[in-house]
Structure 1
Amino acid sequence: MSGIRRRHSTRPSAHRKTVPAAAGAIALALSAVAGVSAAAASPGAAPTDAATFVEAPHPAAVLADLNQARLADVISRGTSRVSIGAGRAAKDEATAERSARATAQIADAIATERAAEKVARAKARKAAAAKKAAQKAAAQLAANQADPQAVARRVMGEYGFGADQFGCLVQLWTGESDWNYTASNPSSGAYGIPQALPATKMATAGADWQTNPETQIRWGLGYIKASYGTPCGALNFWNSHYPHWY
């Protein structure tokens, strides 16, 4: 309909927001102030009884209270966030510490295992070397026992004897023991290729003097050099004595 202005309803619609408590307090305070002022200005108005007069709060005070409440809420929320953050940080720190301990334990276990493996490999190498050395020594001993004269020819130079002395040495020890490293004189106890007397003298050349021709030969060459100078000198002395000895 034209020309008719529709009055807006003063009732709050359901979708309108509710006025905050602080704003309502401000409105109430302003309304009270307005009411008091109007009563005072109205002619013939009855004097207001002091006992029934209610002082309305000042709008600035209400606003200050509102701001203080908001600040307290902000502080409370911030404190709560800080507390939650601190809790999470502590939890993360504990988790990191447990992870670090686990990592350290794993590293220690790996290091221990590697050290054990290293020791085991070293022992295996040592055992293999010892076995190889024993096999080599056994093979050398067998060769020495099979051909004692070859041993004498090989080591004579270490005592300063040339190849010209080898023939005299062969004759000397052939007469004494026939180059038998187990030869033993039943009457005197002389033993071995050089017929050492007593036999234990040869222990100065090696603990294996009873079974190793090389040990006996080295001792015999040392004895000849010290007593006769050369194998030929020892042979000359041997030939000049009967029964033969040197």
Structure 2
Amino acid sequence: MLEGNRVSRISVRGFAVASATAVTTVGAVVGVAAGGEQQQGSSDPIEATAADATLLADIPAGQQAVAQGASLAQQADVQSTAADAEAKKSAEEAARKQAAKDAKVKKAAADKAAAEKLAKEREEKKQDVASRSAARDAGDIPKQASYTIAETKAIARQMIPGEQFQCFSNIVDHESGWNYQATNASSGAYGLVQALPGSKMSSAGADWQTNPATQIKWGLNYMNERYDSPCGAWSFWQANSWY
């Protein structure tokens, strides 16, 4: 192959030189016929042309085509790489947006579930407190001019759910000894549950000073609201000697 290329280049170079010589000869003949004078160096452009032709002929046509093809392939690779990078970037951006959207939806669902759970727990607690409220309302208890301890306890049994009665009784035993008119001389606390001040019990009835049923109703509501139940209040009382 190398020898063949050399022959090709020599042949092309010979052709270019022969062509240049022919042109020079023709030019000289024409110049003489026209009576013009041949100027010094007039053959230089023709020789330069022949030299250029020789340089171009030194690069085989096949190699020129290969070089051009390689350049086009390289450009195609660059464009393909750029397209792949852009596609990857777009895919990543789409994935990020979708992940953010999914996270938002998931958070909203979690918040809703938490709110529903809290509402359910509050409703259950409300129902539980209601179930621990007076089994019989104070207004249903016949009023008397006075009450013995036994009568007062009997009223309490009617008003307080059975599983909570003993806890309620334990507190009243320590606070007033079941005397609905008991008064703490130093603090002013009054009644079965020693409300401080005693006037607090007016929220359960205007007869709070003389009706043990009114005092029991107020005491039961107080224990339910603050300690969830009379037994909750009794546990606190045992640890602190007050409630």
TM-score, L = length of structure 1: 0.45
Greater Rg over alpha carbons, structure:
1
Ranked by relative contact order (alpha carbons within 8 Å, sequence separation 6 or more), the top structure is: 2
More helix by share: 2
TM-score (norm 2): 0.46
